Structures are given as structure tokens and as C-alpha cells.
């Protein structure tokens, strides 16, 4: 069973999230403050965490910063009633996967979870296609590699590695002008 952590100092938010997540098949733990959350992160591996930004003593942003510094890459949804651009940017830099504005509904929670799961599935598919296309290139199966790479671009048109591999396809085919063009494009995304 998937495990979720809900961290919020407001009881009604914890109950709403817990109920919604349990109906979606999660085993839910909750914490009322940042210190309690950090202790739970040390003892349990979670599949997702919902963390409020504004809490007494240790903020949600600081909780996120601390778990990331320990190498914990659990997907974190940041919740706040007081959204600021500064908070959003800071949490994004710490790899928060979503930013949930309070008040929210059970439907919004389900939509966020669906979006996160789609993202995870896409990332897995992209990685698989890139690896397989590299194998095909080594085996000289250029058309199959190219087909997989076009699939990757349909999922994520900003994948620098994919453009680099398409450049390799063109280079193998002897089309150096197109190869250079795709290598140049890949450099734009690698910055």
C-alpha cells in the first residue's frame, strides 16, 4: 500500500487530506508541525507528502529543505493559503511537484495526484525510450531509434538528450547539416 504524509497545523485540512488519500488507497500518517514531520520522514519512506508552508516553529519550506538535504526525493505537494511568488520559486527549486492553494476540495487533491502520476509515468516512459534508442543506435537500427525519439519529443518537447540523439541519427545517416542543427537545439535545453 502506498504511504502518504500530511503535514499541517490545521486539523480540518489534515482530516480532509487523510480522508481523500485513504479513499484513493493510501496509508496516511499526519503531523501537526515541522518537527513531527521530520521525525516521521526519518522512520518511514513515503510515496508522497503534502506539507503546509506556514506552520509554527519550522516552516514547510524548511521541512522540504531539510529532507532534500538528506537525499529524500519524495514527491512533495506544498500547500498554502498565503501563496507568494517567492515561496513558489523557493519550493520549486527544492523540487516540490505541485503547489496547492488553500482552500481546496477533494476533487482538486485527486487532480493533483493524477497529474503527478501522469508525470511519473511519462518520466519512466521517456527514460525507457531514450535507453532503448541508444541500444538501437549502437546496433545500427537507426529507423527504430528515430521512431522512439520522436515518441519522446511528443511527450516532452524540451528533452535536450533526445535532440542530441536525433542529431546522432542524422550524423550516422551522413546528414551533417541536420545533425548540427539538432546538436545546437540540444545545447539550448542543456543550459
Tens digit of each residue's pLDDT (9 = 90 or more) over 89-147: 676 777 788 888 888 888 888 898 888 888 877 888 889 999 999 999 999 999 999 99
* Axis-axis angle for helices 160-172, 106-139 (nearest 10): 20
Question: By the 8 A CB rule, do 145 and 165 touch?
Answer: yes
| pLDDT above 60 for 191 | no
The correct answer on CATH 1.25.40.10 for the domain covering 125-190 is yes
The predicted pLDDT at position 83 comes to: 63
CA–CA separation, 169 and 145 (whole Å): 8
Give me the torsion for CA of 166, 169, 171, 175, rounded to 10°: -90
Q: CATH homologous superfamily of domain 2-104?
A: Response regulator (3.40.50.2300)
- Look at residues 6, 7, 16 and name the one whose alpha carbon lies nearest to residue 103: 16
Which is higher by pLDDT, 42 or 81? 42
| pTM score over 0.85 | no
Amino acid at each position: 500500500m502506498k504511504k502518504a504524509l500530511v503535514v499541517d497545523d490545521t486539523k480540518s485540512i489534515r482530516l480532509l487530506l487523510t480522508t481523500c488519500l485513504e479513499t484513493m488507497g493510501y496509508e496516511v500518517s499526519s503531523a501537526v508541525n515541522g518537527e513531527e514531520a521530520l521525525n516521521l520522514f526519518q522512520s518511514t519512506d513515503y510515496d508522497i507528502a503534502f506539507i503546509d508552508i506556514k506552520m509554527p516553529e519550522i516552516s514547510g519550506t524548511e521541512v522540504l529543505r531539510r529532507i532534500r538535504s538528506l537525499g529524500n526525493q519524495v514527491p512533495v505537494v506544498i500547500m498554502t493559503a498565503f501563496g507568494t511568488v517567492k515561496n513558489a520559486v523557493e519550493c520549486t527549486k527544492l523540487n516540490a511537484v505541485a503547489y496547492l492553494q488553500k482552500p481546496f476540495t477533494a476533487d482538486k487533491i485527486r487532480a493533483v495526484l493524477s497529474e503527478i502520476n501522469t508525470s511519473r509515468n511519462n518520466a519512466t516512459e521517456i527514460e525507457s525510450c531514450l535507453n532503448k534508442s541508444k541500444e538501437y543506435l549502437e546496433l545500427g537500427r537507426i529507423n527504430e531509434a528515430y521512431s522512439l525519439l520522436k515518441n519522446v519529443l511528443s511527450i516532452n518537447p524540451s528533452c535536450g538528450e533526445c535532440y542530441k540523439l536525433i542529431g546522432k541519427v542524422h550524423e550516422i545517416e551522413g546528414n551533417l547539416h541536420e545533425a548540427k542543427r539538432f546538436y545546437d537545439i540540444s545545447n539550448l535545453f542543456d543550459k
